[in-house]
Amino acid sequence: MIPAPFEYHAPKTLSEATKLLAQLGGDGKILAGGHSLVPLMKLRLAAPKHVIDIGRVEDLKYIRADNGKLQLGALTTHYEIESSDLLKAQCPLLPETAGEIGDVQVRNKGTIGGNLAHADPAADWPAAILALGAELQAASAKGERWIPANNFFVDLLTTSLEPDEILTAIRVPSLPRATAQGGQSAPRAGDAYLKMPQPASGFAIVGVAVRVVLNEERKIVEDVGIGITGVGPKAYRAAAAEAALRGKSPSAQRLAEAAAHAAEGVEANSDLYASAEYRAHMAGVYTRRALELAVQRASGK
């Protein structure tokens, strides 16, 4: 199907883009990589009168260390994240998640900002962003603000971005490390992302991202973040599972007990590929597996 008629805009700076969005109001729609918006337009599920293509805004394409954290521009592609040596060393959850997205063509064109702003309930990035406790920067003609990941995803295809705001950056913590003998650093935290993909699209029927931080002796779970996608109407942080594990030993039994809370309080989706009951069950299964892998990595194994 051919999209409804629209006017195309291609600003070269963020300032131009935010001013356009403010002027056009609800008639304007931001285009980043195009993998979410263009299919909706072809199906006439979205019919914006104005499309604002921010793909030429070079200031939104970067990966850098920033005061002990890592910051990514919203137009950074999945492949750039997947292949980043900086991220592999300091936040391996991001490259691992990126490698699970679509195929090579999708990863070379799709962007992390576009993916997050679209807020598909089965997308991969929301799980990782939630598990890391990330912050997301929104910009408008009036200024900028940072939004905690826990407050970003509101509902199905809905975020806390205002109509005149553009998602511009994502900030995540680096992987915590312990100081070993001789002054060298060693792992005391581990990341993992595992998913059960929908066989045709590759989207997550269940996807679980985990960061586990152990104490210096690696005997107690000091902190843990668990983000889950594909199960409910929006990606969510499995707070009950985290609480069941935080401050406890990372034994196999403890991990299994915590994982059993993965879908607690969530109204699971149901479709041709998975019933609500099956999704809820698999959320626990994949949470346990991801926790086991993250703990193994945190232990330096």
Q: Name which of 93-102, 142-151, 180-189 the model is least confident about.
A: 180-189
Task: Determine the average pLDDT of the residues in 115-140.
Answer: 98
Sign of CA dihedral 79, 43, 230, 203: negative
Burial class (CB in 10 A: 0-12, 13-18, 19+), 103: exposed
**Region class of 230: left (phi > 0), else alpha (psi between -120 and 50), else beta:** left
- For 58-173, give the CATH class: alpha beta
Across the beta sheet with 236-237, what order do the strands follow?
A: 189-197, 204-214, 221-229, 236-237
Provide the whole-model pTM.
0.95
pLDDT(177) > 60: yes
CB 7 within 8 A of CB 53: no
CATH architecture of the domain 7-53 equals 2-Layer Sandwich (3.30)
CA–CA distance, 292 with 301 (Å, rounded to integer):
11
69-82 residue pLDDT tens: 999 999 999 999 99
- Determine what percent of the chain is predicted with pLDDT higher than 70: 97
CA–CA distance, 134 with 4 (Å, rounded to integer):
36
Task: With CA atoms as reference, report the closest residue to 117 among 157, 156, 148, 150.
Answer: 157
What are the sequence ranges of the domains in the chain? 7-53, 58-173, 189-298
pLDDT(181) > 70: no
Q: Name which of 26-35, 73-82, 123-132 the model is least confident about.
A: 26-35
CA–CA distance, 60 with 122 (Å, rounded to integer):
25
Task: With CA atoms as reference, report the closest residue to 87 among 111, 110, 62, 123.
Answer: 62
CATH architecture of the domain 189-298 equals 2-Layer Sandwich (3.30)
pLDDT band for position 66 (cuts 50, 70, 90): confident
The β-bridge partners of 50 are 7, 28
- Kindly give the interhelix angle for 252-259 and 276-298, rounded to the nearest 10 degrees: 150
pLDDT(259) > 80: yes
Task: Determine the average pLDDT of the residues in 100-126.
Answer: 96
- Determine what percent of the chain is predicted with pLDDT higher than 90: 90
Task: Determine the average pLDDT of the residues in 184-199.
Answer: 90
261-296 residue pLDDT tens: 999 999 999 999 999 999 999 999 999 999 999 999
pLDDT(120) > 60: yes
> Which element (helix H / strand E) includes 275?
none
